[in-house]
Amino acid sequence: MTIHRTDQWLDTYLDKIKTSQKQPLVEHQKLICKPLTSFFRSIDEKTLQEHLIRHGLFLPHKNNSKYLSEWLEKDFYPFFKKLYQKLKRAWDGPEADIFLFPSNENSRELQEQFKGNAGLSYPSKLFLFLSPKATPKALTALFLHEYSHTCRLHYFEKAEEDYTLLDAIILEGTAEYLVRRLLGSSSGSQIIQTLSEKQAKALWDKWIKKYRDIKRLDAKHDLIMYGKHGLPNHLGYNIGYYLVSNYAAKQNYSSKKILYTPNEEFLSIIKG
């Protein structure tokens, strides 16, 4: 288990942007993103930088030294180390490479919709983008969400290019369900709405049934998940949560059992 010492990378980065004439963009690429490339199959630091920034990583500009210093003072490591050990034991989860970073403090949507915290998860690594203002409860909710992804992705092992829309729907549904079950609904995501049985069935039949096996790289995948271009907002997330929460309500399963339930079992809810 490794929570990597990204605080040391940040210290060096801060030093460089304060003292050297070099551009923060380049230093950010070199000191923050390049070390991460070895944890991916084959990627360059520029592509990874763009990707992580899209998912909430702090921005490379000259004026956030104070913000980064404030973040470093928080010292999130002991908190996540403890949480990770506890959850790994409870869920029988995999070893994971964990990277903690400051989140993008300039994004209003990130602050308003997600309390300034974001993450990105893979079968054996995860990235957490944290606000220095985050409460312990918000941090816990984020970790529960992201680490549940890692556990499920690791358990149902599959080549990344083979992940389907249904995989994503259930992945997000289980994450949302677990956060609400363990911390209460107020810790859940704001993007989730209550769906009636009739609504859920109609949405499933219209938008998901036909496309459940499309792969991640299909343009329709994200459009359905996020509900773009006229589709209901965050459609995939909402259907996923509906399926998992209603299924769980019928069973008396532990959190762990729900986490590792195969996709098809959740579909019994929509199929009757």
Residues lying near other proteins in the complex (CB under 8 A): 25, 40, 43, 47-56, 59, 104, 106-107, 109-110, 113-114, 117-122, 127, 142, 145-146, 149, 153, 160-161, 168, 171-172, 189, 191, 216-217, 219-222, 225-226, 228, 234, 237
Nearer to other proteins, 149 or 180 (CB): 149
Please name the residues in contact with 13: beta carbons below 8 A apart, sequence gap of 6 or more. 27, 28, 31, 32, 68
Spatial distance between the Cα atoms of 27 and 16, rounded to a whole number of angstroms: 7
User: In this structure, what token pair is assigned to residue 115?
Assistant: 């309390």
Nearest distance in Å: CB 232, other proteins: 13
Q: What is the 3-state secondary structure (H, E, C) of 209-224?
A: HHHCCCECCCHHHHHH
Beta strand pairing status for 97-102 and 118-121?
unpaired
Least CB distance from residue 132 to other proteins, whole Å? 17
Name the residue among 152, 168, 186 with its Cα closest to residue 258: 152
Q: How near is the Cβ of 7 to other proteins at its closest, in Å?
A: 22
Minimum CB distance to other proteins, residue 250 (Å): 25
Q: With contact defined as beta carbons under 8 Å apart, do 215 and 221 qualify?
A: yes
Which lies closer to other proteins via its Cβ, residue 167 or residue 248?
167
Distance in Å, CB of 149 to other proteins, minimum: 5
Nearer to other proteins by Cβ, of 236 and 261: the residue is 236
Nearer to other proteins (CB atom), residue 142 or residue 258? 142
- β-strand 97-102 against 2-3: which pairing, if any? parallel
